[in-house]
Structure 1
Amino acid sequence: MAIDIALVVAAAFSIKYLYISIYLEAEAPSFHASCIFIVVISLYFGLRRQNYYEDILRPGIWRGYFSLFLIVAFAFGLSLFVLFAVKESAQLSRGWFSSWLIATYAILLVTRVGWRSAYMRLLQRGYLRTAVIIVGSGEPLQNAVARLRREERLGPVSIAGVYTLCPSVAPAREGSACDCTAHLDRCLQQIVTQCQNTFVSDVIVAVPASEKDVLCKAVEHLRLLPVNVNIVPDFGALDLSMGQVRHYGQFGAIGVQRIPISEWGVFVKKIEDIVIALIALLLFAPAMVLIAIAIKLDSPGPVIFRQRRHGFNNKVIHVLKFRTMTVLEDGKQVVQASKSDGRVTRVGRLLRRTSLDELPQFLNVLKGDMSVVGPRPHALAHNDYYSRLLANYATRHRVKPGITGWAQINGFRGEVLKPSQMEHRVRLDLEYIENWAIWLDIKIILMTPVYGFISRKAY
């Protein structure tokens, strides 16, 4: 990252010298240095937050280029906002600013391809690999070996050895317990010898939970070695692939789930929601007044429809929408709107096709019940039904519901005709929750009008 940032700074000063000093024959204002500083700091934290370099070998690398564009656009947009706030933006050279923005994006793109290519070449030649020894017994050992074999094919891991320990089960015959202990001692001694004679950085111990004595003896023996000793806990079907050790003072525990959005992330997302909701309400205020008048003239009933739905942490909230139907269903049974539904009014059909019926939900965002981006909330009756049908459905409520979301821009919006469609929605919602970032929110907001137009509701 340091080299890339240095290249970006060098590009800024080079373009400033060539464009302003040589081409325009003018003196660059002093605040250009402040602009460069803001951009560099924003890029640094943005790239780190996105794991831009850590994920250099992840499949689907091309999808990361749009995220890179959002990071660069945010960094330059922030610097422009700061200059506007201190009333210096009028003196900013637009030619220099736009040229540097394009050059920054190009530099980060080219260097990413270069780093990836160099990294792959080094891995193919056997460099930069983590040499690992796997020791254990039973199914945990088999699972660990299988998963690490897949990682070895990708490059960053190299399996230096696999050792099978004798399980500490009840002896089937006299003397077998002694044989098992002797076998365990021989295996551990072989591991020590290999680590002393070859370069091994990590040893992974994978034994069944019932073999506590074997685990303790193996770990105690491996303490003598200058290597990382890692334990793969055996908890049956429990997935620990996302687990990490958390420390509470001197006490440590393996985390199998984390808070979806950190405290700092919650603060950033709140600012994002307030700013976007205020801008949207100001922009759409005239349209909302006209929609309200059209609804009143089209059919009897209230302009706004309030429906109870589950929000953050299963709290019941009242979601606001422009009324699009002749009924106001909010009970134990809610019939979902469908094509050629006679309950939908003439104005309502237009509002539903364009999603303009959801504009009042920006008021829910300002109130704090919803977010601009998040899993779409459903009526209580639908929530109860799908909670019984899909085991992980309720985990969507770990974050605030949104006006739009990751599932919506991937084509899952409107009527649900079969459970598999809801299952895909839930999968995408959970994918959003686990991978939340401000850049992902910006991407969803920018793509919502495009996908909303392509996959409009037909009712």
Structure 2
Amino acid sequence: MELAKQYTGGLIKPYSSGFALLSRSLDSAIIFAAALFSGYLLEGHVSSEFIIVGLIGGLFHQILAEFTDIYRSWRSESLWAEARRILACWTLGFSIIFTAGHMFDETASILTWPSSARWFCLTLFLMLGWRAVVRTGLRQLRTRGFNTRTVAVVGSGSLASQVASNIQSATWFGYRNLGFFDDRADGRTAEDGEWPTNTAFHQHAKDLSGSFEDVVAMAEQRLVDTIFIALPMRAEERIKTLLQRLENSTATVYVVPDLFVFQLLHAKSINLNGIPAVGLIGEPHGGVDGVVKRIEDIVLGSLMLAVAAIPMLLIALLVKLTSRGPVIFKQTRYGLDGELIKVRKFRTMKVCEDGDIVQQASRHDERVTALGRILRRTSLDELPQLFNVLGGSMSIVGPRPHAVAHNESYRALIPRYMLRHKIKPGITGWAQVNGWRGETDTLDKMQKRIEYDLQYLNHWTIWWDVQIILKTLVHGFIAKNAY
């Protein structure tokens, strides 16, 4: 109990409404000031035009903020998650003002280039900047014991252990875990009387801080701020009973779904007309992420195509002169959501296989031309896929697309194989820069490639894409097992 008294409460929680109002006011002031500053740099003075546009920008931002929910508590989420929501809100508001402004005969000068770009970028930089500064300050306070919240973990199994581990590793949460609380100190977590065998459980069962009675008493005495119920799904009746007792307190209570029994892929929750639902297999590049990914593909794809245009013309000429057949080979492969797409490559073989049976190229394969062997080893045969990227059927970075015949074969042999098609296939990928490129003559090799593909799907960020592209440019073009 003394531990709870020491850590309960926080500096900001009692003033959360005022802090949200301050955040709204600061953002609106930034939008307004950035508009005036951009206009001043353009014309050397501040006119009524800039004042009106700045006020409208702040108004639209506040309206859209209600839909994007950017002024909620971000205590337990990363800056990147908050930044994406801010980016979406401001981009949408700016786009509406920009489009509406250009519908009139005389467009406001602040909405013309480069003033409009300056206003957009400066506003975004300042809105993200002050949040980063505040987060840094709060993190420093929380690591020193200030602005903390007390939490209790109900349960003593592997799920409770994972919750406690996440709380401990994420010091910026400012959570102080008071311990594990369970009404079954003998070690039973399954409702049918099964006994867990993992050592982590026995350690927590041994180190229980109290029972359900204790955590309820602490909640009623306001000695704990937040309670995480981390019991298995079979413990439904126990969870209901505990929730009914906690209703007489002011503690915030979360039930942590026991979803670790599933292999999740970008799990997200939705509101199904009032009923919460958790998607176990989600869409990695849905919403804002999809827009960011598409912008990345268009910008980088255009730059790469501009650089590679002349080399591609030379390669096309060499392919035509050194062997008979088309310059470009198109093969049917699976794209996003399993849709069939035509992937372009420079022809490297004397044959063009695209049927029910496609034989992978192997060492000393007689079907591969002399020029084709060089192109395949250096990945230059993949350059025409830049047109797939700009057309929207592929991305710069993503799981490599396999021939349809190979997909149909491996999907029956490798669990979760088809999940790699939840995003667009890529010219290069996480598996490829880690050495899993080229011939997959054993099932183990393909399983390893899928493992890296799913790791990329689960943890994608734009900065990871940049890292993969740089690795590809430095040493990813040459592959010993690409024949």
**TM-score grouping bracket, smaller chain normalisation:** 0.5 to 0.7
Q: Deviations over 1:209-245 (max 9, x none)?
A: 5544433322222232233333345567335797665
For the Cα contact (< 8 Å) 1:299–1:345, is it kept in 2? no
Question: 1:309 corresponds to which letter in structure 2?
Answer: R
Q: Paired residue for 2:438? A: 415
For 1:119, the aligned partner's letter is: L
Q: For residue 200 of structure 1, what is the aligned residue in structure 2? A: 224
| Equivalences for residues 274-353 of structure 1 within 5 A | 291-330=315-354, 332-336=357-361, 343-346=368-371, 349-350=374-375, 353=378
Shift of 1:305: 0.9
Compared CA separation, residues 271 and 160, structure 1 to 2 (3 A):
closer
Q: TM-score, normalised by structure 2?
A: 0.63
- Kept in 2, the 8 Å contact 1:376–1:402? The answer is yes
Which of the residues 345, 355, 358 maps onto 2:380? 355
User: In the alignment, is the contact (CA less than 8 A) between 1:280 and 1:362 conserved in 2?
Assistant: no
Compute the displacement of 1:377 (Å).
0.5
In the alignment, which residue of structure 1 is the partner of 2:15? Answer: none
Q: Percent identity?
A: 24
Q: CA deviation at 1:122?
A: 2.2
The letter for the 1-side match of 2:477 is: K
Aligned counterparts of 1:338 and 1:50: Cα–Cα separation in 2: 55
1:382-421 aligned at under 5 Å gives the runs 382-383=406-407, 387=411, 390-405=414-429, 410=433, 414-415=437-438
Q: Does 1:151 pair with 2:171? A: no
Mapped contact 2:348–2:369 kept (Cα < 8 A): yes
For the residues of structure 2 that align with 1:309 and 1:434, how far apart are their CA atoms? 23
Give, in whole Å, the separation in 2 of the partners of 1:237 and 1:334. Answer: 38
Partner of 2:475: 455
Q: Structure 1 11/378 Cα, relative in aligned 2: closer, same or farther at 3 Å?
A: same
Farther off after superposition, 347-356 or 319-328: 347-356
- Distance in 2, matches of 1:49 and 1:456, equals 41
**Count of residues paired in the alignment:** 427
Distance 2:151 2:110 in 1: 58
2:120 maps to 1:120: no
Q: State which of 176, 181, 191 in structure 2 corresponds to 1:163.
A: 181
SS of 1:165's equivalent in the other structure is coil
* Equivalent position SS for 1:455: helix
1:176-191 pair list within 5 angstroms:
187-191=211-215
Structure 1 residue 302, shift from structure 2 partner? 1.4
Deviation string, structure 1 residues 354-404 (Cα, Å, up to 9, x no partner): 6364325525763x6434553220223543565466433321011232344
Aligned letter for 2:338? N
For residues 283 and 84 of structure 2, the distance between their equivalents in structure 1, rounded to whole angstroms, comes to 23
Which residue in the other structure is 1:135 paired with? Answer: 154
Unaligned stretches of 5+ residues in structure 2: 1-22, 194-209
State the alpha-carbon separation in 2 of the partners of residues 16 and 219 from structure 1: 54
Matches within 5 A, 1:230-245: 230-234=254-258, 237-238=261-262
Query: 1:31, 1:407 → 2: CA distance?
Result: 50
Q: 2:346 is matched by which residue type in structure 1?
A: F
Query: Which amino acid in 2 is paired with 1:355?
Result: L
Q: How does 1:20-31 map to 2 (within 5 A)?
A: 30=49
1:221 and 1:240 map into 2 onto residues whose CA distance is 32
For normalisation by structure 1, the TM-score amounts to: 0.66
* Residue of structure 2 equivalent to 1:258: 282
Q: Distance in 2 between matches of 1:28 and 1:339?
A: 73
Q: Quick check: 428-437 or 373-382, which moved more?
A: 428-437
The amino acid across from 1:205 in the alignment is: I
- How many angstroms does 1:196 deviate by? 2.2
Give 2:242's aligned amino acid.
Answer: A
Alpha-carbon distance in structure 2 between the residues aligned to 1:143 and 1:238:
12
Aligned counterpart, 1:176:
none
Gaps of 5+ in 1: 171-185
- Separation in 2 of the partners of 1:28 and 1:98? 19
CA distance in structure 1 between the aligned counterparts of 2:324 and 2:118, rounded to whole angstroms? 57
Please tell me whether residue 430 in structure 1 is matched to residue 449 in structure 2.
Answer: no
Deviations, residues 173-215 of structure 1 (Å, cap 9, x unaligned): xxxxxxxxxxxxx944433321122342332334445544433
Question: What SS does structure 1 have at the residue aligned with 2:214?
Answer: helix
